[in-house]
Amino acid sequence: MEILITGANGFLGQHLCRFLKDDHNVFAAGKGEKRLPFEDVKYFSCDLAYTVAVEEMMEQIQPDVIVHTAAMSKPDECLQQPDRCRQVNIDAISNLVKAVHKLDEKIHCIYTSSDFVLGDGGPHDENAIPAPLNFYGETKLKGEQMLINSGLHYTIVRPVFMYGEVWNGMRSTFLHWVKDSLEAGKPIKVVSDQMRTPSYVGDICKGIESIINKKAMGLYHLSGEEVVSPYQMAVAVAELLKLDKTLIEPVTADTFPEPVKRAKHGGLTIGKAKQELGFTPMRLEEGLSRTFL
Ligand SMILES: NC(=O)c1ccc[n+]([C@@H]2O[C@H](COP(=O)([O-])OP(=O)(O)OC[C@H]3O[C@@H](n4cnc5c(N)ncnc54)[C@H](OP(=O)(O)O)[C@@H]3O)[C@@H](O)[C@H]2O)c1
């Protein structure tokens, strides 16, 4: 199986390349230089915002499956750079869809969307009506709609607040910021009134592999099952690593002058993925142990 992973320098992209490379022929596509530390994946530098570049890469690889993780993934950045965000989160999908139509319509297109396409009132199942609260969510929803209307074989995956190991060449995560701050004895303020169902990245990789193996089409929510706030996650990190949790101050979201609106009750339910994919995410405590120990 030839699998093309876009966003391969990113957090999920790097994890997916590591997870899939032993059993599949993995082609990694990233913007600019390769930052993946693995030698046994073939790397393509490709800015997905450019139609011709995408078509040329697809011609060379001829994949059976595309896992499209590339995105402008930070809601604040999307608001600050809306044109670039549209190029990355919307035009790139249009380019991939065009290239697939041209090359081979049997290619299975898997797109990592986001819980941010949904509004407040979570945790939500797959039947919830999308109602993004911010521009990032709007662009991710547009990506979903483009795939749904593409006439191609597609699967949309929605993860939530991913966490997991980081290594050299990878961006850091919220939980690593918590760890580093506490280790440095630095007090931090963390939001306690936004509820999520955080996803251990290794579980997301397993869920995507099941989707590939089962050729499962449609929409799947993939996340953890526990509903927790960023504050509760930060405290769990402190307890696991025996750091001083009194340095973590719980604050409400309205304490921060945040330009981007976020759901108070977000998160997803995963009954469909459990039943149809055999998806069994680990508990937060175990995911954190895998992340840090
Ligand atoms: N992280 C989460 O908690 C979360 C939650 C729900 C959904 N998601 C979705 O899951 C996916 C993966 O998230 P992530 O956290 O792994 O994101 P990430 O770490 O920000 O990685 C995204 C990657 O996309 C690449 N990229 C940006 N513009 C590109 C372009 N024009 N052409 C090619 N590549 C481009 C980036 O390249 P550079 O590294 O060079 O900038 C980056 O490596 C995204 O679609 C995101 O929307 C993430």
Q: What is the CATH number of the domain that holds 241?
A: 3.90.25.10
Examine the domain organization and report whether 100 and 125 are in the same domain.
yes
Residues 10 and 129 both lie in one domain: yes
The answer to whether residues 75 and 207 belong to one domain is yes
26, 3 in Cβ contact below 8 A?
yes
What separation in Å is there between the alpha carbon of 269 and the centre of ligand 1? Answer: 23
Say if 277 falls within a structural domain. Answer: no
Judge if the beta carbon of residue 48 lies within 6 A of ligand 1.
yes
* Residues 185 and 211 grouped into a single domain: no
Nearest residue (CA) to ligand 1, atom 26: 70
The CATH number of whichever domain residue 77 belongs to comes to 3.40.50.720
Q: Is 17 within 8 Å of 6 (Cβ atoms)? A: no
Which atom of ligand 1 lies closest to the CA of 111? Answer: 45
Q: Is 57 in the pocket of ligand 1 (CB under 6 A)?
A: no
The one-digit pLDDT tens for each residue of the chain (293 residues) are 999 999 999 999 999 999 999 999 999 999 999 999 999 899 999 999 999 999 999 999 999 999 999 999 999 999 999 999 999 999 999 999 999 999 999 999 999 999 999 999 999 999 999 999 999 999 999 999 999 999 999 999 999 999 999 999 999 999 999 999 999 999 999 999 999 999 999 999 999 999 999 999 999 999 999 999 999 999 999 999 999 999 999 999 999 878 899 999 999 999 999 999 999 999 999 999 999 99
Any domain includes 272: no
Q: Is residue 278 part of a domain?
A: no
- Specify if 230 maps to a domain: yes
The Cα 106–Cα 4 span in angstroms is 14
240 lies in the same domain as 253: yes
274 inside domain: no
pLDDT given for residue 257 in this prediction: 79
* Same domain, residue pair 59 and 122: yes
Residues 210 and 248 in one domain: no
Residues 19 and 157 in one domain: yes
230 lines ligand 1 (CB under 6 A): no
Is the CB of residue 89 below 6 angstroms from any atom belonging to ligand 1?
no
pTM exceeds cut of 0.95: yes
Instruction: Supply the Cα-derived Rg of the chain in whole angstroms.
Output: 19
The protein residue whose alpha carbon is closest to atom 7 in ligand 1 is 114
Output the pLDDT for position 258.
Answer: 80
Shared domain check, 237 and 109: no
**How far is the centre of ligand 1, averaged over its atoms, from the C-alpha of 112 (Å)?**
9
Could you give the CA distance from residue 232 to residue 2 in angstroms, rounded to a whole number? 40
Chain-centroid distance, C-alpha 120: 19
The count of structural domains within the chain is 2
Q: Are 254 and 137 in the same domain?
A: no
Residue 90 and residue 66 share a domain: yes
Tokens for 104, please give them. Answer: 């081979």
Q: How far is the CA of 256 from the centre of ligand 1 (A)?
A: 25
Task: Answer for the pair 110, 98: CB distance below 8 angstroms, yes or no.
Answer: no
Domain presence at residue 76: yes
Domain carrying residue 71: 2-162+198-221
Q: In terms of domains, do 174 and 58 share one? A: no
